[in-house]
Chains A and B, each alone.
Chain A
């Protein structure tokens, strides 16, 4: 957007739209709270997965309902905003983005619950340390959390560049997920008794990879809001940085 169409000081009568600004602040606040909650869910879920901490896992599962209620509340706030304030231009793009981000965050919450359910069903059985290292599980979970955090920062600071960093990291997740099939197959050959756990572990890894996909979606939504550019299904967010050969759900 071109700025400074008029000399500085031209907009003496620039007004603040109190109702609009208050509503924007309120919905952004709800979204930020939900974000903190979902981040906590993912952190605890992967922790429970790696260490077999069933108590932590049950905590995640119990708090999933809270994530759902945030989603419903934010949806309602957005609905009211559209109905009462007729947003256009940047306000319109922001509200459209928030609706989508809200939905993506809720799905990330679901994935956290899914990951936690692995630990809940196998109390005390953390993932074998050597296998963890081979699978690069720690790197994978840290990357997913970093992506979630980058998105949060990008939105809070209204910074499209930070959002752009998310796409590269999604590639890392895709690679780790892609490699995991062979690694787990090899492990099963050596430890046939662990086949069931390995299958469940693979489904947890898949969920972490999905969290990455959802973060990429959120980053696309943020760029749309800030720069009015549509990155969805474009080379910039998919192909150019390696593509998502494993597809999305």
Chain B
């Protein structure tokens, strides 16, 4: 499966009069995990949501600058948002399975995209559940409701659902913040595994999680990208005093 690179150049983003992002430029390479960190309201989630045009429908929202995936402007005139989102999957903070069976949750994206062949769907569902490290736990109860799963399992189901349409990029908005430590560590292990096949961007408030799972870390503050560097560097000797204050917990 082809993975993708992402690039943002001179991005400014406004919610009406409020400027949420100021001149942000960021390059994310293929097969890497990038963590976006920063205090609430710093623009990191806004930035994440720009990458699959989740902000499009917000009234008064306006983008300046350029965001490209594999060199292609995703805000270009001919871009189909549905096609973009097939390529750029998203996992949210709280697990949000559909009120359907485990199997149908994962099959949903495929059916919406017009896949009819039952064998194709079955094998893709299994593949996705395996990819999300959930298959062994659910293989005997695929027809049961997704709501019967634990929170951690539900979150991995949502990841499987995102994987089913074979995206090349996965966006994760605090994917483990509602999970207990065991489920969190499963999701983190999963991110580590998924990196081989996907480019991952993750927003997290958990500093240690950013340190554990990511290759690169971007620190946002007041809508600006303050520092973007290798994760080891950010957590051992950041270049900016503001970054140091944030990662050591001295402001927030």
* Complexed CA–CA distance, A93 and B245 (Å): 14
Query: Separation in Å of the A77 CB from the closest CB of chain B?
Result: 18
* B248 lies within 8 A of A17 (CB): yes
Q: Which of chain A's residues have a CB closer than 8 A to the CB of B234?
A: 89
Task: Please state if A1 and B248 are interface contacts (CB–CB under 8 Å).
Answer: no
The answer to whether A89 touches B251 (Cβ under 8 A) is: no
A9: min CB distance to chain B, Å:
12
Residues of B202-243 at the interface with A, using a CB-CB cut-off of 8 Å, are 207-208, 211, 221-222, 226, 234-243
Which A residue sits closest to B39, measured CB to CB? A13
Given the contacts A2-B240, A93-B237, A88 and B207 also touching, CB distance less than 8 Å? yes
Check B252 against A15 for contact (C-beta < 8 Å): yes
Contact call A88/B235, Cβ cutoff below 8 A: yes
List, in ascending order, chain A residues with CB within 8 A of B242's CB: 5-6, 11
Whether A92 contacts B235 by the Cβ 8 Å rule is yes
Set of chain A residues within 8 Å of B239, measured between Cβ atoms: 1-2
- Tally of A interface residues using CB under 8 Å: 23
Q: Is the C-beta of B247 less than 8 angstroms from some C-beta in chain A?
A: yes
Q: Which of B208, B226, B241, B251 contacts A1 (CB under 8 A)?
A: B241
**Considering the complex, which residues of chain A in the window 1-31 have a beta carbon less than 8 Å from any beta carbon of chain B?**
1-6, 10-11, 13-17, 20
> Is A43 an interface residue when CB atoms closer than 8 A count as contact?
no
Contact A89 B241 (CB under 8 A): no
In the complex, chain B residues whose CB is within 8 Å of the CB of A91? 248
Bound CA span A93–B237, Å: 8
Determine which of A3, A10, A89 lies in contact with B248 in the assembled complex, contact meaning CB atoms within 8 Å. A89
Q: What is the number of residues of chain B that contact chain A, defined by CB distance less than 8 Å?
A: 24
Let me know if B7 is at the binding interface, CB within 8 A. Answer: no
Interface residue from A11, A20, A228 paired with B245 (Cβ < 8 Å)? A11
Contact A88 B248 (CB under 8 A): yes
In the bound complex, how far is the Cα of B239 from the Cα of A2, in angstroms?
A: 6
Q: Residues of A contacting B248 with CB < 8 Å?
A: 17, 20, 87-91
**Docked-complex contact A1 and B236, CB < 8 angstroms:** no
A92 neighbours in B (Cβ, 8 Å) = 235-236
B71 within 8 A of A: no
Judge whether B250 is part of the interface by a CB distance below 8 angstroms: yes
- A193 on the B face (CB < 8 A): no
Residues of B within 8 A of A5 (CB): 226, 240-242
Complex contact A2–B241 (CB within 8 A) = yes
**B145 interfacial by beta-carbon distance below 8 Å:** no
B76 on interface, CB distance cutoff 8 Å:
no
A16 to B252, CA, bound (A): 10
| Binary flags per residue of B54-73, CB closer than 8 Å to A gives 1, else 0 | 00000000000000000000
Give the 5 A-B residue pairs with the shortest CB-CB distance, closest first. Answer: A228-B237, A14-B251, A88-B235, A5-B242, A3-B241
Residues of chain B having any CB pair with chain A under 8 Å:
207-208, 211, 221-222, 226, 234-245, 247-252
Chain A interface (Cβ < 8 Å from any Cβ of B): 1-6, 10-11, 13-17, 20, 86-93, 228
20 contacts between A and B (CB under 8 A): A1-B238, A1-B240, A2-B241, A5-B226, A5-B240, A5-B242, A6-B221, A13-B251, A14-B250, A15-B249, A15-B252, A20-B248, A87-B248, A88-B211, A89-B236, A89-B244, A89-B247, A90-B237, A92-B235, A93-B237
